[in-house]
Structure 1
Amino acid sequence: MTPVEMELFNAIERLGRAEFVGAGREVGAEFLSGQLLRVHGTRPRKLTLSDVVVVGELDLEAGEVGFPVEFERCTFEYAPNFEQATVAGLYFADCRLPGLRASQVRLQDGLALRGCIINGRVQLTGAHVAGQLDMDDCVIDGPRDGAFKADGLKVEQDVYCSGRFAVNGLTHMVGAHIGGQFICEGSTFRNPGEDRTLELSGLVVDEHVFWRNGFVAEGEVNLIGARIGGRFICEGARFHSPGRTALCVGGMAVGQQVEFSGGCVVNGELNMVGGHFGAWVKLTGAEFSNPGGVAVDLTRSVTTLNLVLRKGTTVQGELRMIGARVDGLVGAQGAHLSNASGIALNASGLQVNSDLVLGVQADVRFHAQGVVVLADAQVGGNFDCSGGLFENEDGDALVARGIKVGMDAVLGAQFTARGRVDFARARIDGKLDFTGARLKNEGDAVRCDSVRVGHAAVFDDALVTGCVRMCDARIGSEISFVGAVLKGVPAVKLKGTQVRGVLRLRFAERPAGWLDLRRVQAGSLADSQGDWSRGSRLDEFVYGALLGNSMPLHQRLRWLRDEDDVVPQVYLQLSSVYAKAGLHDKATDVLMAKEDAKRRKLKGFTGRLHRTVWWVLNPTVGYGYRPLRILWCLGVLTVAGGLIFHWLRQDKQNFAVARPVLDVAWFDPWLYTIDLLLPIMSLEHSQLWVPLHGARWASLAFTVLGWVLAVCLVTGIGRLFKRDER
């Protein structure tokens, strides 16, 4: 033994707790191995070696060290070998090692590498540490294919890799099991020139994982199939693998909360496919960047409570949530999603048991640059996009085809969509609310074909540049456009829609384009004069009533008269509404207006003939709808004829008596006129006088007028019994 070794030997022999300070002197590894493995002689309760240089290979393979051993500020010439050894406890503090070989080592207490600098591989494959694994401030610079290899490692308590802890090279811990917490605060993992930095697939942590406060991983981190009993917190962490997967936790199960928040930055894809998270998933305040690719992938994941990515969250690339399930709410108020080349949020088939909120938080609005896809999603509560900004020029901004919403779908309060909003085949149990929305798209700005809404569809005060399309929809209460401004051509297409309550127009100004209300059925209609654009299509538009303060009848008829196409059903429908309300005079006026419009549009000889007949039938019997008008005609003609014949009889040469016994003074002009105007019956007064000169032509004129009135009367009475089936 050298003098130093003798001094160490005596220290072990004298003291139960041996502390030896080498002051930089050398100790042979073979001698030290013998002392650690000694069977005979004094065995210390603990051996602490400080400032010692261990020369040679410290080889304790398959050996048993029955007491804890601590090395402080020691330097090793070769990597210590503890493979398959059994050690009471092994602690390195501020040491320099060319590596550590400790595969399948059994440590009855803990293992520490605190503050060590290790230029080589740390091998802990299959190791079993009954206490803690403490590697705070440790720096490992090893080979790329495995600087820290700990597959199958089992640590019954906590693992600490914090402070200045850093690994240059691959960290490989497949199937490792940590009984306590896995804490990596401020640590750095690098593997230059390689894709993967941390290989932790199948990792099991019974309590929490804290990768936060400056944690850095450069290269892919793989946690596929990991199981974490408590929380997984990556607050303030940085994952850097541009253009590739930065962090893959596919199939991972976390018993409690998952956080990528508080300034967490992920450059590359965050893959959480098929993960199961027992509480919250919090992405608020994080930055995820994978331009042109998938930035965050939550496909088929399950979140037991809420999923939040609120104000301060930035996603560059696609946020994918296809088939995911969230038992609480999804809150993205104030988040910014950007993937201008394609889909910003892909949540087809998403299931949310509570609310889905893509709105405003603290005056910061949700902003999506790219398509937001929620096709066939299911939302148990409200779908709230109030104040959100959705941008995808010349394409779809929000695709919610087939979405099912248990309560209201709210897209108001300055909700803005630059691109089409698509709710085709949606099922909304409450209200579809676009109050105050700002919608812009060439063609259809809103498409809600075949939508089913339990309550109302509201577009009040909305500004829509494009068409509001809602064909074949079923609305349980009302459709309202009160105060809306529509600038599309066409402005509204509601073809085939059924509204149980009110179709309420009342636009702020006349729409720029026409309205398509063909085959629409509404319980009632509320409109005004400025609601109807030229060319609107109303074929088979059926409504039960006109609400008060609607357009006056004369204005409505004037608007219908100015339309290019005459649709008799429109007039018949309007007439039936007035008739049901007991306003029979107005109902008749509508039917007469129908006849006017129909004949006015006729062209050619047939048209001129019909207009001639119209010129007679309208003032006399109102096309048969007002046959008693003929009494007024008779009265006017009787008065006029009486005055004319009274004047003519002043000249006795205008009349001659038909019988010698008569006196001209007996002539009664009023009775004479009536007798001429009633061709189908005779009062025999006109037969007593022979008209001469001017009276002859006057008598002929009144006789012809009488026949005209008779024909009109017969026509009018016939119309009373004729059903207009056109």
Structure 2
Amino acid sequence: MTPAEQRLDDLIKVNERVELRGEGQQISAGFLAAVLMREEGRRPRKLSLYDFVVAGELDLEAAEIGFPVEFERCTFDHEPNVEQATAAGLYFADCTLPGLRASQVRLLDGLALHGCEVNGRVKLNGAHVSGQLDLEDCVINGAFKGDGLRVDLDVHCLGRFRVTGLTHLIGARIGGQFVCEGATFRNPGEERALDLSGLVVAEHVFWRNGFSVEGEVNLSGADIAGKLFCHDARFSSPGGTAIRAVGMNVRQEMEIGDKCTVDGELNMVGCRVGGWLKLTGGRFSNPGGNAINLVRATIALNLVLRTGTLVHGQLRLAGAEVCGTLGAQGGEFRNGNGTAIEATGLKVHGDLSLAVRDDVRFHARGQVVLNDAQIDGNLDCKGGLFENEDGDALVARGISVGRDATLSAPFIARGRVDLAGASIGGKLDLTGARLKNEGDAVRCDRVRVGHLVTFEKAHATGCVRMCDAQISSEVTFAGAVLKGTPSLKLKGTRVRGQLRLRFAERPAGRIDLRRVRAGSFADDEKDWPDRSKLDEFVYEALLDGSMALPKRLDWLRDRHAYTPQVYLQLAAVYAKAGRHDEAADVLIAKEDAKRRTLVGFPGRLHRMVWWLLNPTVGYGYRPLRILWWLGFLVVAGGFLFRWLARDPGNFAKMRGDLRIEWFDPWLYTIDLLLPVVSLDHSQLWVPLGAAKWFSLAFTVLGWVLAICLVTGLGRLFKRDDR
């Protein structure tokens, strides 16, 4: 034995706790192994060796060491072998090792590589550590393999802990916490750096304070009973997967947030989080690919990506379920002209908020897809900025919203907003929204809204389209500015309450209200551009302050193609309101418009004949108008024939006993104007000269008025909706 070995042997004989400082002396690995595995003679309760050089291979394979062993500032020229050994505890502090073979070792207390430098592999496959695994400040220049490792208490990878090589802890079980603060995992030249698939942690996982992984972290199938916290951490796998956590189960809260950077995909497909999932403050980057993948994930409480969150790449939430709220207020999501957020089939039991927060607006640069999503609460996009100028900015076809859908000011969409087939239990609010797209600015075909739809003070540079929709309350465009061509399409929509136009200015393109049904209607003169379409537009009433009837009729005459139903509908509304004179005016205007549509010689002839019906009996809708004509002609004829009667040569007496003083010019005129009924006065006087021609004219006028009266009265009993 060397002096150092002799001294150690002597100390063991007299002390239960043996501490020996070698000051750089060498000790044989074989001698040390014999001491540690000694079955006869005195054995220490603890052995601590300081500043020794252990020469040779320390082979303790399958050995039973009944006491803890501690090495501090020792240097090993061969990797220690403790595979399948059983020991009370094994501790290395500030040591230098070429590696460590400890597969299937059983340690009744802890295992430490505190402050050590390991220039080779550390193998802990199948090892069982009943205490803690302490790797604080340990530097491992090689692989770290611990498949099936079991640690009953905590695992600490703290300080300047670093692994340069693959860390393999597949199926490892940690009975306490897994704490990595300031730790670094690297595997240069390889895709994966940290493989924790199937990891089971009974308490919490903390990756923070400078924690860094260069390469992929694999947490697929991991089960964490507590929380998973990542603060001030960096995960780097550019163009690949930075964190693969497919099917992971975190039973409490999970956070990859403040000062965290994930360069590569965060893949959490099918994972389950029993509390909140907080990504607020994180930077997630995988341009052109999936930055965050939460397809079919289940979040028991809230998912938050609020102010300070930056996602460069696609956020995928297709088929995910969030049992609380999903808040992305103030978050920023970028994916060029691709899809920034893909959330088809997403289920949110609370609210979904893509809104402004603390004066920082939600910003999506790329398409946001919410097709067939189910939102039990509110869809809040108030103040959000959605940009995808080459296509759709917000696509939510078939979305179901239990309460309100709010896209109000300062909401901005540069690209189409598509809500076709949406079902909204409350209101659809686009008050003050700014909508910009070359074609349809907003598309709401077949939407079902339980309350109102408002576009008040909205500004749209494309068409506002809401065809075949079902609105339970009202639709209003008060103060809106529509610049699209066409500007508004509501074809086939049903509005149980009010339909209000009253734009801030005349729309740039036509309005299509064909087959629209509304409880009541309000408009203004400036609401109607040329070539608008009102076929089969049905409404029950006109609201106070609507466009005056004369101007409405002028617009229909000059700027709308003749459509009988439009006039009949308007007349029915006035008649229902007890305004029969206005109803008659509408029907008269209808007849005028109808005559103008007739072309060719038959049309001109038809218009000439019917030209008499309007001023005389109003096409039969104002038959009493003929009394004014009769009264006028009676007065005019009376004065005329009275003047003519001054000259005896204008009238000849039919009987000799008649005197010219008996001639009554007014009675004579009435007798001429009544072609069917005779008062016999005109039979007593024979007109001569000029009186003959005037009498003939009044007789013809009488027949004309009679024919007009009969024709007009006949039309009252004839349905004409052509």
Q: Quickly name the TM-score band, shorter chain normalised.
A: over 0.9
Could you tell me which amino acid in structure 1 is paired with residue 62 of structure 2? A
Alignment of 1:74-113 (within 5 A): 74-113=74-113
Could you tell me which amino acid in structure 1 is paired with residue 674 of structure 2? L
The separation in 2 between residues aligned to 1:457 and 1:166, in whole angstroms, is 59
Other structure's SS at 2:440 match: strand
The separation in 1 between residues aligned to 2:718 and 2:77, in whole angstroms, is 118
User: Is contact 1:208–1:231 with CA below 8 Å preserved after alignment?
Assistant: yes
Identify which of 185, 199, 213 aligns with 2:209: 213
Deviation at 1:295, TM superposition (A): 0.7
Could you tell me which amino acid in structure 2 is paired with residue 140 of structure 1? I
Match of 1:286 in 2: 282
The separation in 2 between residues aligned to 1:213 and 1:614, in whole angstroms, is 93
Is residue 2:361 matched to residue 1:373? no
The separation in 2 between residues aligned to 1:609 and 1:508, in whole angstroms, is 45
Could you tell me which amino acid in structure 2 is paired with residue 33 of structure 1? A
Identify which of 528, 545, 549 aligns with 1:549: 545
Is residue 2:6 matched to residue 1:6? yes
Q: Percent identity?
A: 68
Other structure's SS at 2:42 match: coil
Is residue 2:520 matched to residue 1:530? no
Identify which of 481, 488, 503 aligns with 2:499: 503
Other structure's SS at 1:365 match: coil
Other structure's SS at 1:131 match: coil
Alignment of 1:110-259 (within 5 A): 110-142=110-142, 147-259=143-255
User: Is contact 2:568–2:721 with CA below 8 Å preserved after alignment?
Assistant: no
Match of 1:70 in 2: 70
Deviation at 1:564, TM superposition (A): 4.2
Match of 1:591 in 2: 587
The separation in 1 between residues aligned to 2:546 and 2:183, in whole angstroms, is 72
Other structure's SS at 1:449 match: coil
Match of 1:398 in 2: 394
Alignment of 1:259-274 (within 5 A): 259-274=255-270
Count of matched residue pairs: 722
Other structure's SS at 1:183 match: strand
Other structure's SS at 1:39 match: coil
Identify which of 700, 704, 707 aligns with 1:708: 704
Other structure's SS at 1:24 match: strand
Identify which of 307, 310, 313 aligns with 1:311: 307
**TM-score w.r.t. structure 1 length?**
0.99
* CA deviation profile, 1:671-726 (whole Å, cap 9, x unmatched): 00000000111111111111111001100100110010010010111012111232
Could you tell me which amino acid in structure 2 is paired with residue 269 of structure 1? E
Identify which of 429, 452, 455 aligns with 1:456: 452
Could you tell me which amino acid in structure 1 is paired with residue 57 of structure 2? E
The separation in 2 between residues aligned to 1:563 and 1:341, in whole angstroms, is 42
Is residue 2:619 matched to residue 1:623? yes
The separation in 1 between residues aligned to 2:136 and 2:148, in whole angstroms, is 21
User: Is contact 2:532–2:560 with CA below 8 Å preserved after alignment?
Assistant: no
The separation in 2 between residues aligned to 1:723 and 1:273, in whole angstroms, is 68
Is residue 2:317 matched to residue 1:326? no
Identify which of 374, 399, 404 aligns with 1:408: 404
The separation in 2 between residues aligned to 1:338 and 1:378, in whole angstroms, is 24
Alignment of 1:428-577 (within 5 A): 428-577=424-573
User: Is contact 1:456–1:477 with CA below 8 Å preserved after alignment?
Assistant: yes
Between 40-49 and 575-584, the greater mean CA deviation after superposition: 40-49
Match of 2:59 in 1: 59
User: Is contact 1:265–1:287 with CA below 8 Å preserved after alignment?
Assistant: yes
* CA deviation profile, 1:70-116 (whole Å, cap 9, x unmatched): 10000001000000000000000000000000000000000000000
The separation in 2 between residues aligned to 1:304 and 1:601, in whole angstroms, is 67
Is residue 2:641 matched to residue 1:661? no
Alignment of 1:652-691 (within 5 A): 652-691=648-687
Could you tell me which amino acid in structure 2 is paired with residue 228 of structure 1? I
Is residue 2:353 matched to residue 1:357? yes
Is residue 2:293 matched to residue 1:297? yes
Other structure's SS at 1:52 match: strand
Could you tell me which amino acid in structure 2 is paired with residue 653 of structure 1? G
User: Is contact 1:19–1:47 with CA below 8 Å preserved after alignment?
Assistant: yes
User: Is contact 1:251–1:272 with CA below 8 Å preserved after alignment?
Assistant: yes
The separation in 1 between residues aligned to 2:209 and 2:444, in whole angstroms, is 47
RMSD over aligned CA atoms reads 0.8
The separation in 2 between residues aligned to 1:420 and 1:541, in whole angstroms, is 27
Between 553-562 and 478-487, the greater mean CA deviation after superposition: 553-562
* CA deviation profile, 1:458-483 (whole Å, cap 9, x unmatched): 10010011111000000000011011
The separation in 2 between residues aligned to 1:415 and 1:43, in whole angstroms, is 78
The separation in 2 between residues aligned to 1:341 and 1:149, in whole angstroms, is 43
User: Is contact 2:409–2:434 with CA below 8 Å preserved after alignment?
Assistant: no
The separation in 2 between residues aligned to 1:609 and 1:419, in whole angstroms, is 55
Other structure's SS at 2:573 match: helix
Deviation at 1:601, TM superposition (A): 3.4
Is residue 2:392 matched to residue 1:383? no
The separation in 1 between residues aligned to 2:549 and 2:577, in whole angstroms, is 14
The separation in 1 between residues aligned to 2:231 and 2:396, in whole angstroms, is 33
Could you tell me which amino acid in structure 2 is paired with residue 116 of structure 1? C
Other structure's SS at 2:438 match: strand
The separation in 2 between residues aligned to 1:560 and 1:722, in whole angstroms, is 24
Could you tell me which amino acid in structure 1 is paired with residue 21 of structure 2? V
Deviation at 1:613, TM superposition (A): 2.7
Unaligned regions of 5+ residues in structure 1, if any? none
Between 626-635 and 36-45, the greater mean CA deviation after superposition: 36-45
The separation in 2 between residues aligned to 1:514 and 1:521, in whole angstroms, is 19
Could you tell me which amino acid in structure 2 is paired with residue 11 of structure 1? L
Could you tell me which amino acid in structure 2 is paired with residue 136 of structure 1? E
The separation in 2 between residues aligned to 1:112 and 1:48, in whole angstroms, is 13
The separation in 2 between residues aligned to 1:411 and 1:341, in whole angstroms, is 22
User: Is contact 2:364–2:386 with CA below 8 Å preserved after alignment?
Assistant: yes
User: Is contact 2:337–2:388 with CA below 8 Å preserved after alignment?
Assistant: no
The separation in 2 between residues aligned to 1:640 and 1:654, in whole angstroms, is 18
Unaligned regions of 5+ residues in structure 2, if any? none
User: Is contact 1:458–1:479 with CA below 8 Å preserved after alignment?
Assistant: yes
Between 655-664 and 321-330, the greater mean CA deviation after superposition: 655-664
Deviation at 1:614, TM superposition (A): 3.6
User: Is contact 1:596–1:614 with CA below 8 Å preserved after alignment?
Assistant: no
Other structure's SS at 1:569 match: helix
Match of 1:578 in 2: 574
Deviation at 1:353, TM superposition (A): 0.1
**TM-score w.r.t. structure 2 length?**
0.99
The separation in 2 between residues aligned to 1:514 and 1:358, in whole angstroms, is 33
Could you tell me which amino acid in structure 2 is paired with residue 694 of structure 1? A
The separation in 2 between residues aligned to 1:14 and 1:182, in whole angstroms, is 40
Deviation at 1:604, TM superposition (A): 2.6
The separation in 2 between residues aligned to 1:100 and 1:30, in whole angstroms, is 17
Other structure's SS at 1:488 match: coil
The separation in 2 between residues aligned to 1:566 and 1:368, in whole angstroms, is 47
Deviation at 1:619, TM superposition (A): 1.1
Other structure's SS at 1:67 match: coil
Alignment of 1:641-656 (within 5 A): 641-656=637-652
Could you tell me which amino acid in structure 1 is paired with residue 53 of structure 2? V
Could you tell me which amino acid in structure 2 is paired with residue 656 of structure 1? A
Other structure's SS at 1:489 match: coil
The separation in 1 between residues aligned to 2:337 and 2:203, in whole angstroms, is 41
Could you tell me which amino acid in structure 1 is paired with residue 357 of structure 2? Q
User: Is contact 1:394–1:442 with CA below 8 Å preserved after alignment?
Assistant: no
Could you tell me which amino acid in structure 2 is paired with residue 29 of structure 1? A
Deviation at 1:414, TM superposition (A): 1.3
User: Is contact 2:284–2:310 with CA below 8 Å preserved after alignment?
Assistant: yes
